[in-house]
Chains A and B, each alone.
Chain A
Amino acid sequence: MKPEIFEQIMDARAQRTPVALVTALDTGAQRVVARDHAADDILAQVLADAFRFDRSGVHKVPEGEFFVHIHNPPLRLIIIGAVHIAQAVIPIARAAGYDIVVIDPRGAFATGERFPDIALHAEWPDEVLPKLGLDQRTAMLALTHDPKIDDPSLHLALKSKVFYIGALGSKKTQGTRAERLAAAGFPAADIARIYGPIGLDIGAQGAPEIAISIMAELTRVLRLGS
């Protein structure tokens, strides 16, 4: 591997940019393809699926035999609301390999005692989120039930490429939320990106089971696309 190829991979990781290292197994020739430019590559279709499903592998095409090694940034879960359900979600998400960020401007909720060893921001989401950068390997949960906190987070999530947006609340709550987002100028197709009521319908009772249903839905969207 040439030094410039290795540097490109290390830089991509530092900047949370998904890239693939494509190696021609017969010649040893290598190239780094960013996910955003994968459509221009001769392996476009292979790369699209490989990025989406986080699946490295060997592919034989008329041009030769290639190993596609996906270097996706770590998965990240941003939780809006330092609430009880967040506490239940965190251990499952962490075991599944997510870096976790919790944001809640209410100091009484966002305490280190309630959320030990977590990147915790006792600030307004619209102040924190632009600094974090919302990308394709990030999921967001809006859990506060408070439009003052949840809505600005959803605005930013909908303008980004985050792979999953979930919002807590009943069907009625989702309805009024959708009306507010429509009034704020978001088209119906964008609003439909929000999963709400959040989580797979598994009859979950109580925070731990709701956490399981949320993480199951999030995993399905990550791995299957919807």
Chain B
Amino acid sequence: MAGSDPTILDQAAQWLKDGRQVALATVIETWGSAPQPVGSQLAIDANGNFIGSVSGGCVEGAVVTEALDIITSGKPKTLAFGVADETAWKVGLACGGKIRVYVEPLAA
């Protein structure tokens, strides 16, 4: 299913309906042994609640932090994580893959 898990969008839609601010993170490219395929998604609300996965746990923390900024700024951003990248080690993507994640404010 191209990595898509439809229940994430359903949850995001429900959050929007509840009046919560939401950001959506989507894996757009992977290299090597990235744990989640392209299309995988993570929905994040302004309180840092999240559902879904972009990396099987490796970089979710960093993505959530960025998502909170993006909810505030309203501007989408492409994040890159990889073993060659200093930050990737810090956030724990030591699983040997590289990923690019597109993070955008949802329905704003």
A residues with CB within 8 A of B? 1-3, 6, 9-10, 13, 23, 25, 28, 54-58, 67, 69-72, 74-75, 97
Contact = CB atoms under 8 A, between A and B. Distances in A.
A10 B13 contact: yes
A155 to B, nearest CB: 30
A65 B39 CA distance: 16
Nearest to B13: A10
Given A13-B6, A69-B26, A74-B6, 10 more contacts: A1-B24, A2-B107, A3-B107, A6-B13, A6-B16, A23-B104, A25-B78, A67-B28, A67-B102, A70-B2
Contacts of B9: 9-10, 13
A25 B102 contact: yes
Contacts of A58: 28-29, 100
Interface residues of B, number: 24
A39 to B, nearest CB: 20
B62 interface: no
Contacts of A13: 6, 9
Given A23-B102, A56-B3, A70 B39 contact: yes
B20 to A, nearest CB: 14
